[in-house]
């Protein structure tokens, strides 16, 4: 794809159809994957797609058009459609197109080549062999997958913006299904692990999946009551990802977050520091600009319990009298770029010792159905372990954790010393010890 040719076609069409300004967003995605089940390759796939979005400003009003083709002819047609759409808009734009930041972070992340079909199949089968060899309790239904992805973003506009970024990664998914029998009873469990192939070996991924599945066997509920609870890093990340919207300036403007108007105020415990860093080394995609072309940068959202800033794009920064934080998903929406809880000083063992007696939670289910992002209330099924005298003992399942996210931020007692991001996730966390969580069990 020659972006200069596309740019020239758009510029020519913009002049013809009366657009004073224009912006081009082009995304190209390429992926390859192989899956294995029951010791055989089940699927192999490869896909490549591109899409182009045009924004054209006519008489101060923006119109948009999308094309699945990235060609000069398609660009010309998209400009015509976008200009036509602009004529149907009643109100002028709040924000003009952005001409670019003074500087952008230089990214030097390696971009791996996509593995061939044969390589993917071999890697998926290796995962299957390792999984079945790891335990005699492994049963059919254990799945393996290896995938590669490359994604490119190009932003060009009539104000001089000309940006591009390419991200690539190869990752594996190991899912272990186990079954066990005891005294005429039977129990089953499963666990999956997703990992960047550059960061851990196939054997390490399989060991985590199989160990996790085996540890989940024969779990029982605990008595209902209030518990001190450690959530592991992936569990905290999943909860924080759902509730990341409460830090959005858009939601503050719309009145759908209780943090509206609270910048500069204490909202959490002093052990709670929340960062948004698009370049955190544990993240997989270090994109140097946001969806409006603004330079991305690291910022402290909550500093030792005090809300320092919400996350802004240009529109809501203007509406609320602030500066953009480089968190635009697009011209109207906001998203984190590398949101994480700053780590503490505890190793996992030391954090368990600090807990003493309580629960160690390894998963939460029903986050999208059981979490209210406006009120902060949540009620979620959970699995994990009982902790006694600082040690994990028996597995726990069929319990429900209920609390409120805004209150939960005030219940952070201590954190582990390592931040973890899941593959391709913009949200990460360490392990966190929370106090006084309501648990429904038996």
CATH number for 3-215 (one of 3.40.50.2000, 3.40.1190.20, 3.40.1010.10, 3.30.2290.10): it is 3.30.2290.10
Mean pLDDT of 35-52: 97
pLDDT in tens, 352-400: 999 999 999 999 999 989 999 999 999 999 999 999 999 999 999 999 9
pLDDT in tens, 213-253: 999 999 999 999 999 999 999 999 999 999 999 999 999 99
What pTM does this model have? Answer: 0.95
Reported confidence tier of residue 1, pLDDT bands at 50, 70, 90: low
Q: What is the DSSP string of 241-303?
A: HHHGGGGBHHHHHHT-STTTT-TTSB-S-TT--EEE-TT-TT-S---SB-TTSPBP--EEEEE
Reported confidence tier of residue 93, pLDDT bands at 50, 70, 90: confident
The full length of the chain comes to 442
pLDDT value, residue 216:
92
pLDDT in tens, 279-337: 999 999 999 999 999 999 999 999 999 999 999 999 999 999 999 999 999 888 999 99
| Domain segments of the chain as ranges | 3-215, 225-440
Q: Which two tokens stand for residue 41?
A: 């390759």
């Amino acid at each position: 794809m020659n972006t200069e040719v596309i740019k020239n076609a758009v510029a020519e069409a913009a002049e013809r159809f009366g657009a004073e300004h224009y912006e081009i967003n082009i995304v190209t995605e390429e992926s390859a994957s192989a899956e294995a089940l029951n010791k055989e390759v089940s699927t192999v796939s490869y896909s490549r797609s591109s899409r182009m979005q045009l924004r054209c400003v006519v008489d101060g009003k923006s119109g948009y058009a999308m094309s699945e083709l990235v060609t000069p002819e398609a660009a010309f047609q998209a400009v015509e459609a976008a200009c036509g759409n602009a004529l149907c808009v009643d109100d002028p734009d709040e924000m003009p197109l952005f001409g670019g930041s003074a500087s952008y972070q230089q990214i030097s992340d390696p971009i791996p080549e996509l593995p061939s079909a044969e390589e993917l199949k071999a890697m998926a089968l290796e995962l299957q062999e390792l999984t079945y060899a790891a335990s005699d309790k492994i049963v059919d239904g254990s799945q393996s997958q290896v995938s590669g992805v490359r994604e490119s973003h190009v932003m060009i506009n009539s104000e001089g913006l000309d940006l591009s970024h390419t991200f690539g990664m190869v990752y594996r998914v190991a899912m272990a299904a186990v079954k066990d029998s005891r005294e005429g009873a039977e129990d089953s469990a499963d666990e999956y692990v997703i990992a960047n192939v550059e960061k851990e070996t196939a054997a390490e991924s399989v060991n985590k999946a199989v160990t996790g599945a085996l540890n989940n066997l024969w779990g029982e509920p605990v008595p209902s009551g209030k518990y001190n609870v450690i959530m592991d890093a992936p569990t905290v990340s999943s909860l924080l990802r759902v509730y990341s919207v409460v830090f959005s300036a858009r939601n503050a403007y719309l009145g759908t977050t209780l943090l509206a108007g609270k910048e500069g105020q204490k909202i959490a415990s002093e052990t709670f520091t929340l960062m948004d860093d698009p370049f955190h080394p544990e993240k997989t995609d270090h994109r140097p600009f946001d969806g409006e072309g603004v330079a991305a940068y690291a910022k402290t959202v909550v500093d030792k319990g005090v809300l320092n800033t919400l996350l802004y794009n240009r529109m809501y920064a203007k509406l609320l009298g602030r500066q953009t934080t480089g968190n635009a998903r697009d011209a109207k929406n906001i998203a984190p770029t590398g949101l994480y809880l700053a780590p503490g000083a505890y190793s996992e063992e030391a954090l368990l010792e600090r807990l003493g007696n309580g629960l160690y939670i390894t998963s939460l289910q029903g986050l999208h159905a059981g979490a209210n992002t406006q009120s902060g209330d949540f009620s979620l099924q959970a699995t994990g372990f009982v902790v006694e005298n600082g040690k994990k003992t028996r597995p726990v399942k069929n319990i429900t954790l209920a609390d409120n996210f805004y209150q939960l931020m005030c219940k952070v007692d201590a954190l582990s010393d390592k931040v973890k991001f899941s593959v391709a996730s913009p949200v990460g966390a360490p392990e966190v010890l929370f106090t006084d969580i309501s648990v429904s069990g038996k």
